[in-house]
Structures are given as structure tokens and as C-alpha cells.
Amino acid sequence: MEARYSLTRFGAKSLLPAAIVFSVIHETGPIITGLVVSGRVGAGIGAELASMKVTEQIDAIEASAVNPYRLLAATRILACILMLPLLTLAADACGLVMGWFAQALVEPLSLHQFINSGFKGADFNDFLPPTFKTAIFGLIIGLIACFQGMRTQGGAAGVGRAATSSVVLSSLFVILADVVLVKVILIFFP
């Protein structure tokens, strides 16, 4: 609604659907998904593995001649890599529907019209690279959370520290990675 007000002032109200679509699929959807998953999943993985570490469960896995990095870390990192793009699709869909809803509140517009107008001129290069860059976010979140969890020391306080540092570091690195990836995407998909 704020964007609508600004665009109206500059006489570009008709560009609003396209502005919403492009901002959601290019940046807002991927980065918000990355940050939400950093907070929710990063903290969960960090705390779970840290709890297993301080109660010697990870040592017990290793003593059973099973590689805990393969069993616990590799599976979680892979899950993050695979799920982030799918969650981003869901976030994009929600963002577009809510964008249309906000637009429809002030000016009658069907979803069909909104989508047609918004996606006019868009191609796969606008959609695929930003969506699949979130696989890198998943790699970052999984790696940091697993690393923080599996190197924990110091009982319950250590579990808390691992959960906090997982969220803080993965959020920070997701934002940094986004800056780099946007630049890379602009080079390869101008």
C-alpha cells in the first residue's frame, strides 16, 4: 500500500503489479525465506546437535563405528539445500497473493489481472536464479548450524550459546551471500 502511494505520486501506478512481482521473486521472497529458516531451522539444528553433544550422544554414535558427521550433519545440510528453494516458492506465492490482496483493498482488481499485469515481460531468468540461489542459503544455514551444534561444550549454557550463534551467524552470512549472489546473477543473467 505504501508502494502504491509512492508510485501514484510519480504517475506510475500501473507499474504496481510488476513492481510487486519483481520485488517478491527477485529479492523479498528469497531473503525473507533465508532469514526465517535461519531463525527457525538454524536454531533447531544448532540446539538439537548441541544437546546431543553435551549428553555424549554424538560420542556414542562415533563409538558405534558410525560417522556422526555423515549421519547427523550431511543429512541436515542436504535437507536445507533441497528445502530452501521449495520454501521460497511457497513464500513467493504467499507474497504475490498478499500483494494482490493489499492492492485489491484500495482498488478492485482480480487476481488474474494482477498476475497477467505483473508477469508481463518476465521470463525464467527473472524467476529461476533468485529461487535457486536459496539453495546456497540452505548450505550456509545447514553448515553453520551443524558446526555450531557439534562443537558445543559446557552443558545447558553451551546448548543456548550454540542455538544463538547458529541464528546470528547464519542470518549474517545469508545476507552477505545474498549480496554476492545478486551480483553474480546479474553478471550471468543480465
Partner 1 sequence: MKRGEGRKDTGVLAVAVKDLHKSFGTQKVLNGICLNVATGETLAVLGRSGTGKSVSLRIIIGLEKPDSGSVRIQGEEITGLTIDELGSVRLKMGFLFQHAALYDSLNVAQNVAFPLLHHKREMSKSEQADRVQKLLADVGMEGHLEKMPADISGGMQKRVGLARALILEPDILLLDEPTAGLDPISSGEIDDLVLKLQQEHHMASIVVTHDLHSAKTIANRLALLDDGNVVIEGTFEELQKSDIEFVREFVKHS
Residues that bind partner 1 (CB under 8 A): 52, 55-57, 59-67, 69
Q: Which of 146, 162, 130, 159 is nearest to 34 (CA)?
A: 130
CB 145 within 8 A of CB 46: yes
55/116 with CB nearer partner 1: 55
Least Å from the CB of residue 68 to partner 1: 9
CB 154 within 8 A of CB 98: no
Q: Which three cell numbers stand for residue 116?
A: 497477467
Q: Which of 118, 176, 152 is nearest to 48 (CA)?
A: 152
24/43 with CB nearer partner 1: 43
110/153 with CB nearer partner 1: 153
**CA–CA separation, 8 vs 152, rounded Å?**
53
Q: Which three cell numbers stand for residue 159?
A: 546448548
Q: Which three cell numbers stand for residue 43?
A: 536454531
Least Å from the CB of residue 167 to partner 1: 22
36/61 with CB nearer partner 1: 61
Least Å from the CB of residue 153 to partner 1: 11
Least Å from the CB of residue 5 to partner 1: 51
72/143 with CB nearer partner 1: 72
Residue pointed to by grid coordinates 542470518: 171
Least Å from the CB of residue 42 to partner 1: 19
